[in-house]
Structure formats: C-alpha cells, structure tokens
C-alpha cells in the first residue's frame, strides 16, 4: 500500500463537500428556506476548494482576525501556516447576523443555484486602511491595474466568517468532467498507480516544448514515479486561453510525448489571483493536500505584468518556517530550446550561451503567428499542440 504525503496541518483530508446524498438533498431542501447571499466568484472558488479538500484543514471562511494574521504573518490566529486569506467578502451584510444559517448562491452558474450552506460565526467590517494593508501584503502592490487587486477590492469590505457545507462543485464538474478532480480523487489515483514520488505542475496556459521538457527534467532528476499536471479551470484575465482549449492541447502533448501511465491531466476549480509569491505558497499547500511530494516552481510563477521579480516565487519558500510545508520544491529557471545543443535546457545551465543561441518567442509573437495560421517553430511548440491552438485563434480572432 502506498503511503502518501500527509495533508497540510492534518492527518487526513478535510473535504467540506457533503458526500452523503440523502444529507445533501436534505440540505438543498433546507437551503430553499434560508436567507440567501449571492457570493463573489472568488468566494465561490474558495467554496469549491474547501469542498474538494484542497484547503485542508480549514473548515470554512476565515474571520477578519485570521485574514489580517495571514496577511501579516502567513499564519492564522491559531498558528496554522496559510499564505492567502480565504474569505467570503460582501459589500453589505445588514440582512444577516451571527448565528444565522445562510444559503450561498453561485454567481457563475445560470439561475444562481445554492453552492453551499454557511453557519455565520462572525461578521466583521474591514476598514479601507485594513483592506489596503492586506492587499499590499498579499499582492505586493495596491495598483488598481493589477487584476488580482482589482478583483479583491471589488468584493466589498465585510467578511462573513464561519463553517460551510458544500453541495456541489459549481460549473467545474459539469463543464470539465474529464479534468476537474478533487484532492481526494487525485490521492486515490496516485495510490492506485502506486506512485511514491509525485511531481505537480501548475499551469494556466497551454504547455509548449519548454514546459514539457521541464516536466521531464523534474521527473528525471527527482527520480519521480509520476507527474500530475494540475490546471486552473476558473476565471483568468482577458486574453488568456480558455480552459477547454488548454485542456485539449495538454492532453495531446501527454498522449504523444509522455510514457503511458506516467502523467495525470487534472484541474481544479479556482480563479487566478495573480498574487505571485503568496499564490505560489498557496499552490504548494493544495498540491501537498492532493498528494504531490514535489512541486515545480519556475520563473515568475503566478505572476502578471512586471509586479514581481523573476524568482520571487521561489525565494519566498526560503523565508517560511522549515516545517511549514512537507511538499518540496523543484526550482526551475527559464527553459528554452538551445540551437547549440539541439534540446531544451534551463538557461542558467547553459552559461556559454548568448540570447541568440536560444529559440525565444514572446507571448505576443506566438499569438500573432497562431492567429495567422502560422505554426511556431517545432523547437518552441509541438506541431500537434500548435494545430489545436491555431484553430482556436483563427476561430476567435
């Protein structure tokens, strides 16, 4: 029997999804008579992650005190390591009081069905200054142009805290039935495969040659049994490639360029925060919860624009307590195809190279090529992957 890495801060996973069908149906029925709150997309994503066991050991939405503690010290009031606040923020909670049970309605599904039931343990208002401080701590900037900052600020200043019971996985399970997986399901797959050393790879983009080779490098150097490609399925910023297209291109790459039974293609239901270093830590927390022993973090992980230094998301792991996480990092540099060596390498491992020795293309250049029906060079993108992306760009340009 495979012994998997322990979940974060607990001996067993703590999924908040109500798995027992009669209980779930009874809760759905009860929810129809409860006061309702239409929650933000961010709060809905938090509910899905709590439901799926990814946010073990949390039992619901954080209090203001916990969120402020997470902002200042990356731990909750009771000392649990946690890098980003998990909140249910709203602009106005005057219809609710502590002790109420409320039905949380999903803003991302037609008809706004009930996503979860929450028991309110506290209702607290953040001052504008507290929000500003929290935003600076989590995102490293208060610039309203930062997509994560804009999204966080738009939710409101009132935190409704308390435990939740999750009744479904929003649109993720229905729209991505082959890809959306809970932390429990991924642990089961790892266990069934008998993998001991498991590498996780985060992506919100299609995977080009450099990403593919980075996964091979990590597996080879760590002598890993398996790879879990774990893609974000929630909201992105405008211009990012939609999840179904990413999914198709990644599956094609795995099918053709990875040994059978060596990689799982999975996804999780959460909106991108673009919080750089803090989000990298959150990514590590929930990859440990899903059973990965190692996590690849490359250049500008979870970043956006020029808000973060290229390797800040790696360096932050050296600043947290040694025992904060059990999962280990595989630190990666920028990877690119070397014309000198005829293979993809980490750029810091090719000191005798100049920029001209690499095949380097900007995202803008690649998008332009794809939308014109021009495949990027094979050193940059597998032809079979490029074909799927070209079809998307030509249909949507």
Judge contact between 77 and 69, C-beta under 8 A. Answer: yes
* 204 has catalytic annotation: yes
Q: Which of 302, 273, 62, 24 has the alpha carbon at shortest distance from 160?
A: 62
Q: How far is CA 228 from CA 30, 46, 125, 232, in A?
A: 38, 21, 40, 13
Sign of CA dihedral 270, 150, 159, 73: positive
Among 24, 101, 153, 205, which one carries the catalytic annotation?
205
Omega within 30 of 0 (cis) for the link into 189: no
Q: What phi, psi does 231 have (nearest 5°)?
A: -100, 145
d(CA 354, CA 356): 5
d(CA 93, CA 221): 52
Judge contact between 321 and 81, C-beta under 8 A. Answer: yes
Among 24, 101, 153, 204, which one carries the catalytic annotation?
204
Supply the residues annotated as catalytic. Answer: 204-205
């Amino acid at each position: 029997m495979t012994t998997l890495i322990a979940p974060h801060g607990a001996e067993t996973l703590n999924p908040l999804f109500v798995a027992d069908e009669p209980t779930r149906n009874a809760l759905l029925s009860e929810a129809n008579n409860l006061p309702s709150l239409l929650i933000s997309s961010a709060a809905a994503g938090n509910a899905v992650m709590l439901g799926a066991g990814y946010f073990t050991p949390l039992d619901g939405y954080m209090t203001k005190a916990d969120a402020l503690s997470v902002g200042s010290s990356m731990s909750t009031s009771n000392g649990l390591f946690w890098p980003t606040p998990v909140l249910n923020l709203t602009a106005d909670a005057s219809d609710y009081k502590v002790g109420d049970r409320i039905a949380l309605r999903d803003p991302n599904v037609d008809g706004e069905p009930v996503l979860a039931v929450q028991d309110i343990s506290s209702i607290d208002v953040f001052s504008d200054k507290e929000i500003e401080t929290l935003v600076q701590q989590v995102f490293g900037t208060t610039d309203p142009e930062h997509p994560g900052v804009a999204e966080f600020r738009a939710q409101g200043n009132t935190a409704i805290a308390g435990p939740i019971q999750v009744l479904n996985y929003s649109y993720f399970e229905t729209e991505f039935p082959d890809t959306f997986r809970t932390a429990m399901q991924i642990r089961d797959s790892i266990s069934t495969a008998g993998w001991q050393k498991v590498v996780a790879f985060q992506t919100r983009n299609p995977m080009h040659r450099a990403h593919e080779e980075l996964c091979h490098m990590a597996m080879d150097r760590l002598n890993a049994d398996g790879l879990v490609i774990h893609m974000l399925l929630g909201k992105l910023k405008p211009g990012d490639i939609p999840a179904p297209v990413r999914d198709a291109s990644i599956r094609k790459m795995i099918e053709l360029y990875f040994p059978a039974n060596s990689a799982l293609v999975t996804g999780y239901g959460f909106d991108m925060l673009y919080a750089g270093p803090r989000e990298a830590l959150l990514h590590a927390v929930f990859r440990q919860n899903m059973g990965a022993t190692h996590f690849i973090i490359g250049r500008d992980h979870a970043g956006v624009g020029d808000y973060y230094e290229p390797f800040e998301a790696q360096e932050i792991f050296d600043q947290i307590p040694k025992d904060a996480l059990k999962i280990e990092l595989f630190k990666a540099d920028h990877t690119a195809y070397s014309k000198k060596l005829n293979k993809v390498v980490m750029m810091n491992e090719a000191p005798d190279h100049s920029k001209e020795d690499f095949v380097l293309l900007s995202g803008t250049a690649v998008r332009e090529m794809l939308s014109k029906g021009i495949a990027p060079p094979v050193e940059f993108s597998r032809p079979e992957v490029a074909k799927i992306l070209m079809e998307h760009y030509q249909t949507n340009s």
